Structure 1
Amino acid sequence: MDIDFSEINYLVDPCSRTLHADYEQFLLSLIGLTVIDINGENNDEWRVISTLLHGDEPSGLIGIHRWLTAENTLPRPKTNIRIIISSVEAATHQHLFHHRYMPDGIDLNRCFNEQSIRQSEYQDNQHLNGYVERARLIAHAIREVNPKAIIDIHNTSGNCPAFAVSTLISPNVLSITSYFCDTLLLSDIRIGGLMEVDFPCPVVTIECGGKMDDQAHDVAFKGIKQFAQCDSQCALPQDKAVQILYKPLRLTIKPDRKLSFSKHDENYSGVTLRDNIEQFNYGGCCDGLVLGWLDDKGLENLEMLNDQGVNVIDKYFRVDENKLLCASNLKIFMASTEKDIARSDCLFYVVNNVSNFL
């Protein structure tokens, strides 16, 4: 499929015919990067909702479509709402919501920092300039309305409870998080994501849960509805207490190492993770817990870089014989048995099992 990376399509207060009867028909009616503007009670203020930066993460689109079509008329939010639907081509390629990005493409949510993307594994991709251009268009579409808040809605790569991620903590960040979930990861990881762009307002990434989970779609819908309807005259009201987890790290497998999943040690080369690894997304991992098995290269198969670029994996994991063990009490997020995502993104995120509530 040829993509026109310079194209951006605008809809303003779309009618029911444009929105179609269900979200699948609506998605199939879109052509490329699409912006939808919904007029609110306060026409001088904007909020932004981003979704489908990854084409295989449907909850944001499902939640948006449900919010727009729940009544006989369009909702009337407290402020204007700009909705940005990004990777339409990937989401509709072959099977709906099957591709994170196009088979010959790159991850759009790694293209918002041009310096980092040109130093990454994507630097030789023939479509690099196109995806960087689309990222610029998205950032421009956000800046031109000078929003007071931005949410970027995703699904987790594996089955996982909903959580939020931000680069800073403020009362509004905590409030926005509370509309969707009760856990916030404060992150300084720089991978070229939309969240890292220096917008003059709170930017919160919402991970709604697994993409096949109806509850994740419900999290998106209810959070969007509350985000759109909360009063804009003062600081956004917080819905519930939020647990804050500090500075997650990404556990990655080195590019030339084999990755497998199994119930038992099969003496595979490289790294073998437990095939039920996703269950640990739902709670803490205790010191000594077996997460998988390693070949004779041990922890050399893996990497976990801190914010200084130092590999600190031995502070979090250890090897006993060939078992991969937690070296302390940890929380893990986004563990997935989808090999392509685990290899291209990370095996999972890790934080120390220490947190605050605000």
Structure 2
Amino acid sequence: MKKSLLYVLTFILLFIAGCSSSGTAGQDSITIAWLPNESGTDLTDTRDEIGRMIEEKTGAEVTHQTTTDYIVAIEAIANGNADMAYLGAQGYIEAKNKNDQVLPLVVPSGESGTLDDAIYYSWLAVEIENADEYKNGDEFAIDNIQGKRFSFVSNSSTSGFRVPSTGIVDYFSEQPGFEDVTADDLLEGGDNHFFSDVLYGGSHQGSAVNLLSGNVDVAAFCDTCVNNYVELIEGEENRPGAIYKVREDAAEPFNTVTGKEFILISVTPVLNAPFVINGDNINEEMQAELLEVMTSDEVANNEKIFVPEDSDFSGLFSKTADERLVDVEDAWFNPIRELSN
């Protein structure tokens, strides 16, 4: 009887010890996958700060999975190798198509602190010396991009492929001789193709460098992914005709093109990118804790995550007014989903 009682007490103590070493929601660890755009060393401190705040709230140890390919991050969250990920809207949709338990958690808001203005911008840019080639009178136009060397980010990128390719197709399908053009026609370049050559930067930063290093004539990339490397020197931010210059102290990969200038010829608003979770890995209690910490004032006011305008820190989001992370439902992404239909 004494031995049986001892075994029972030992089991109970081991059970309690096991529970005490787990997160408050019963999960020991959380792996966060990051797209190539957010995997650089310039954002290490921001990634670590997000991880630290999650650890403090949940008790689970956070590991960051940086990547050099969109597909790696998308597959990681879809197949459960990652528990959480920061993806573009298109990447989220692709991951959810693979696994319906991939769920949106939060997105960064706009200046209002709500979803009403939760947008960023997809750019088509050219080198400053070639700007006049892409004008129709005094206005910028995309008519002359056909036949040029073009850089996308990845065909899984929202603002680096899905949105610009849709815009190009919508515009040219109304022009004589291009009525049947599709997004698939833009994937590769060469003779009898829409573009003479097509490159993929692998990240928004890489696509911009493709342009500034002279490898292509036109490039698609977004504002938020290059803000840490460039500065507006003329025109209105996020408007055709705006001229940007690479900072002299820009980190990799822009350190090879410092001082280079480019001009925007087309600008399209895009729905902000979500943090998503794998519902097969993250139970409902942990989901609630993650939502609570990510939408907290502590995160919104953390200057390593939401960086003030006058700061030299390279962070993930900018703080100009009431920006914060806000919860979001799947249906909010339907406008991006419909671009594929």
TM-score if structure 1 supplies the norm length? 0.22
Larger fraction in helix? 2
TM-score if structure 2 supplies the norm length? 0.23
